[in-house]
Amino acid sequence: MSNENFYNEISNAIVKLDEDKATEYANKAINENLNLIEVVEKGFALGIRTIGELWEEGEYFLPELMRGAQIMQNCLDLLIPHLQTASEQISRGKVVIATIEGDIHSIGKTIVATMLRAYGYEVYDLGADVPVEKIVEEAIEKEADIIGVSALLTTTMTGQKKVIEFLHEKNIANKFKVILGGAPVTKTWVEDCKADGFAENAIDAVKLVKSLLGK
């Protein structure tokens, strides 16, 4: 089976909510030493996004969306330890990352955190539904170089802007670079927020952090 076909099979397993098959494919990808980030982005993520479309079209309902996310998360739990094999002894920089308050979508943020760790960054993942103040507090305490804020809902995106406004209010905006992410985030939104950048996937997130820190 070609890689592209394998990614499609993974995506289909997620869309069909077939946990046994999805788990089998995750293990196969690990055992066969495939490029796991491609497996995640082109297989599993494609599947969960397709579920999102089916939900929007009224073909799937909330229980299916939740089940799909659960299966995806279980597979990520298998894959993540194998993604995090990079040089843990050197830290290229510190990143505090969170999904903003009011938003429980965590899958994409977790993948970004995992990839950054794999590339040697020290990542503090605060989880999902995290208040603006808490994100900034942790960034100060951890002496972060970068603050990453994820938002998947148009209603919670405003929280991303609030992080930057709060940094300005506290007169510490120059201490951190702020990067944004999540499906609804666009270049225009990033400019509007006066953020330092955004990335559409985990690979681009690594490139972005690298370019902002120069290492």
CB of 43 to ligand B12, least distance (A): 11
Q: Please, which residue, 171 or 207, has the CB nearer to ligand B12?
A: 207
- Give the residues lining the site for ligand B12 (CB under 6 A): 41, 45, 48-49, 51-52, 55-56, 62, 65-66, 69, 73, 97, 102-109, 111-112, 148-150, 152-155, 179-184, 198-202, 205
CB of 31 to ligand B12, least distance (A): 23
Please say whether the beta carbons of 34 and 41 come within 8 A. no
CB of 73 to ligand B12, least distance (A): 6
Q: Please, which residue, 135 or 171, has the CB nearer to ligand B12?
A: 135
Please say whether the beta carbons of 96 and 135 come within 8 A. yes
DSSP element (H, E) containing 122: strand 122-125
Q: Please, which residue, 79 or 152, has the CB nearer to ligand B12?
A: 152
CB atoms within 10 A of CB 177: 20
Measured CA to CA, the distance from residue 76 to residue 40 in angstroms comes to 8
Q: Please, which residue, 6 or 147, has the CB nearer to ligand B12?
A: 147
Q: Please, which residue, 111 or 118, has the CB nearer to ligand B12?
A: 111
CB of 33 to ligand B12, least distance (A): 21
Measured CA to CA, the distance from residue 197 to residue 182 in angstroms comes to 12
Q: Collect all residues with Cβ–Cβ distance below 8 Å to 86 and sequence separation of at least 6.
A: 117, 118, 119, 120
Q: Please, which residue, 89 or 188, has the CB nearer to ligand B12?
A: 188
Please say whether the beta carbons of 135 and 163 come within 8 A. yes
CB of 128 to ligand B12, least distance (A): 7
User: For strand 146-150 and strand 94-99, is the pairing parallel, antiparallel, or unpaired?
Assistant: parallel
Q: Tokens 């201490």 map to which residue?
A: 175
CB of 126 to ligand B12, least distance (A): 12
